[in-house]
Amino acid sequence: MKEAYLWSATDGVVVCDLCAHRCRIADGEKGLCGVRENRGGTLYSLVYGKLISRASDPIEKKPLYHFLPGTSTYSIATAGCNFFCDFCQNWQISQMTHGDGTIYGEDATPREIAVDAEGRGCKSIAYTYTEPTIFFEFAYDTARIAQEMGLKNVFVTNGYQTPETIRKMAGVIDAANVDLKAFSDDFYGERCHARLAPVLEAIELMYENGIFLEITTLIVPGENDDRDDLKRLAEFIASVSPEIPWHVSRFHPQYKQADREWTPSATIFAALEIGKTAGLKYLYAGNLPAGRYENTYCPNCSELVIERSGFSSRSTGLEGNRCRSCGTELNIVITE
């Protein structure tokens, strides 16, 4: 247990300023995430150093295709989430804190994580699997040590941070893949118990604060596959920067939506065409073999620059982060 970051208290009631819920928490109560508790007018993280999962992954699995491609990242998570998505792909760990309140996890320190990551040859640490915002204290402390050791730091997130949190992330968290779930406030309200606007604001602020961005949208059939909404979503990303990679991923039946069908491949490819029309330069299909939509091509001359198969990648047409064929500088961060 550790005193939380970014909170205030008035008359014993704590306001948590980490995520956009901004929970008001009475003494002895927890926030919506189930892992932040007011004890005597002080907010504490209950999951500090309580790892529910850790693994060495290809960075492409996050998915991050343009940040240190071809390298391994050391992935960690604690239990809990500030969303309640009924299509969650990691619900067994993200939602476990809403049961009997028991906090499960293996004890670890920030330095142990950074040292283990370096020892495994990883180039970065990814705060992932669940929502890293809810274990921000541990992620931030680990990231600072990792940074001193020359490792990069990555958030895989739903993007529900407050501006205060993003300002604290800046200069410490190097990259993020933000799950922009839909472009509908009704969808966010009904399926995630959240709002769209804070996610859009967070994406803009991350970009403005120099955090390298990629965006993922999981298409759930009949839920967030409206063509007009996808058009507005793609146009929003392009308005921040057409250089931001957009991953459109195929849903597979999970959790409370286990009775749904897999997303048709045609729906994924139609969304990617919408992204292309919106002016996005880098478009990828997730969770299905996708041919050209697995690879990276130079947006200037269409030369193949990174070839992928599953989570493995091979640089075929790059010199540094420039296209070997035409010399165009690409929005790719290469291993130093």
More confident residue, 292 or 204: 204
| Separation of alpha carbons 244 and 66, rounded Å | 9
Confidence check: pLDDT of 96 > 90: no
Supply the pLDDT for residue 102. 81
- Do 82 and 213 fall within a single domain? yes
In a domain, 305, yes or no: no
In a domain, 215, yes or no: yes
| Separation of alpha carbons 196 and 209, rounded Å | 20
Supply the pLDDT for residue 158. 97
In a domain, 336, yes or no: no
- Do 163 and 283 fall within a single domain? yes
Q: Other C-beta atoms within 10 Å of 139: how many? A: 27
- Do 39 and 165 fall within a single domain? no
Over the stretch 276-300, which tens digit does the pLDDT of each residue have? 999 999 999 998 877 789 999 999 9
Using pLDDT thresholds of 50, 70 and 90, give the confidence band for residue 302. Answer: very high
Using pLDDT thresholds of 50, 70 and 90, give the confidence band for residue 254. Answer: confident
Give the chain's domain count.
2
Give the pLDDT mean for 1-26. Answer: 96
Supply the pLDDT for residue 149. 98
More confident residue, 101 or 225: 225
- Do 21 and 124 fall within a single domain? no
- Do 77 and 6 fall within a single domain? no
In a domain, 325, yes or no: no
Start-to-end C-alpha separation, the chain:
36
In a domain, 138, yes or no: yes
- Do 166 and 233 fall within a single domain? yes
Under 8 Å between Cβ of 27 and 44:
no
State the residue range of the domain holding 82: 50-294
% of residues, the chain, pLDDT over 70 = 99
Confidence check: pLDDT of 256 > 80: no
- For the chain, the residue count is 336
Confidence check: pLDDT of 255 > 80: no
User: ∠261-262-265 over CA atoms, to 5°?
Assistant: 130
In a domain, 80, yes or no: yes
Under 8 Å between Cβ of 229 and 183:
yes
- Do 232 and 123 fall within a single domain? yes
Helix axis angle, 197-208 to 227-240, nearest 10°: 30
- Do 40 and 111 fall within a single domain? no
Confidence check: pLDDT of 82 > 90: yes
Distances (CA, A) of 216 to 61, 83, 90, 152, 176: 12, 16, 15, 20, 10
In a domain, 304, yes or no: no
The identity of residue 22, as a single letter, is R
| Type and span of the H or E element at 228 | helix 227-240
Supply the pLDDT for residue 99. 67
Supply the pLDDT for residue 336. 62
- Do 143 and 36 fall within a single domain? no
Confidence check: pLDDT of 239 > 80: yes
